[in-house]
Amino acid sequence: MTVAAHAHELIGLFPPATRCDGDGTLMLGGCRLDDVAEEFGTPAIVVSEDALRQRARDYLAAFRTRWPRSDVAFASKSFPCTAVQQVMVEEGLHIDVAGGGEILTAIKAGADPARLVLHGNAKSDEELELAVGRGVGLVVVDNFDDIDRLERIVPAGRRQPCLVRVIPGVEAATHASQATGHAGSKFGLMPDDAREAIKRIDRSAKMRLDGVHTHVGSQLLNVEQLAQAVEPIAKLGTFEVYDLGGGLGVRYTYDEHPPTLDEYAHAMVTQANALLPEGSRIIVEPGRSMVANSACTLYRITTVKRGVVTHVAVDGGMGDNLEVSLTGQRFEATIVNRVGGGETVSVVGRHCESGDQLVDGVALREPAVGDLLAVPVTGAYCYTMSNQYNGARRVPVVFTRDGDARLVVRRDTWDDLLMRDVD
């Protein structure tokens, strides 16, 4: 592959409208990435705000043109940044929250609590009290203990709207840690238990059953597997709401070719038309496929060590991207001002773990200490799982749009590393 062809393919992994400036430097949201690094430092997660907004609009259009009574709930665990949640709220999406902290950030972002969907396989009393107290619109009942807790927590005279999460029995073709719809999953209830949960909620004076929920897994590249989850919940009865979950995969590497959003929406709505009651409301909960391609992460190369393997070490790693270590996810990378082509190297992080490897076997052109490195498709789960391993300071998030870069999450300070200590 020529340098030009490789550069073209690489740029295709970055957010739409990413391009190179006249001197070959990558630009995202109209901003040169070297200027972003100069202003905000590295590592940093850089987001194209336009890409984020357009994806939200595309999701709404893809489903509402096919099923008018459909809603899109952003799975905020994928990028639980208040500024990202705010974009989703402004674009008309509901918010799927997976714990008390996400309830609070979503509300701070301007979300109407009635448009929140609370998940969790081990909800605490504190989280359910927060959800009920703040008026969360839907609580997804994952187990019988959720029912017991809600019966105790919901005040007399009120009824909490609920969905029952159902295990669809679909073996997802994804990493084991990202599969959720198989028999034996820790999430949800098998159909017979789900029927019993439905009966209990129907008898409750403090809960209102709005419908059922299911989810197959994450990073799925086969829409037919996602669509298979519709039939098991359709068999449970007629409800107002059918929440079909999320899970659509994204393109991280040159070899991956995930379904398009239109292909996904067509497959899901075709099943809904065949199996669900006309006029019912469906919800989908995209996370990874909503945000992954909206961002890249910037690093500064600190060391180039040549030997049996050429190790290119950067100033981040496991502290800002755990996806490689946890799921074996493959990423690509490029020097910011020399895009495409080059020698094959291993990009490694700064953390004291041999497993702290960002990208193995990637082509970089003349990598040198001080160069800027960009890793695309880091909008999902990288911020979510950022940490302070080896005393690392958690990275900032920068939004770019129309040539303007603005900080939406600051970098940790050294004092932040000590602030929870009790003298």
Query: Catalytic positions, please?
Result: 352
If DSSP codes are grouped into helix, strand and coil, which group holds residue 417? helix
155 marked as binding residue:
no
353 marked as binding residue:
yes
Q: What does the alpha-carbon distance between residue 28 and residue 84 come to, in Å, rounded to a whole number?
A: 17
Six-digit token string for 298: 């910037």
Alpha carbon distances (Å) from 218 to 12, 173, 248, 249: 22, 9, 7, 7
Of 144, 95, 104, 150, nearest to 121 by C-alpha is 144
Strands (E), 142-278: 160-166, 207-214, 241-243
Q: Pinpoint the alpha helices (H) of 189-229.
A: 191-203, 223-227
406 marked as binding residue:
no
195 marked as binding residue:
no
Q: What does the alpha-carbon distance between residue 388 and residue 344 come to, in Å, rounded to a whole number?
A: 30
287 marked as binding residue:
yes
| All residues at 6 or more sequence positions from 318 whose CB lies less than 8 Å from its CB, including other chains | 324, 325, 349, 351, 353, 355, 356, 387, 389
129 marked as binding residue:
no
317 marked as binding residue:
no
Six-digit token string for 395: 């990275």
- Which residues are annotated as part of the binding site? 247, 285-288, 353, 381
- Which residues are annotated as part of the binding site for substrate? 288, 353, 381
- Which residues are annotated as part of the binding site for pyridoxal 5'-phosphate? 247, 285-288, 381
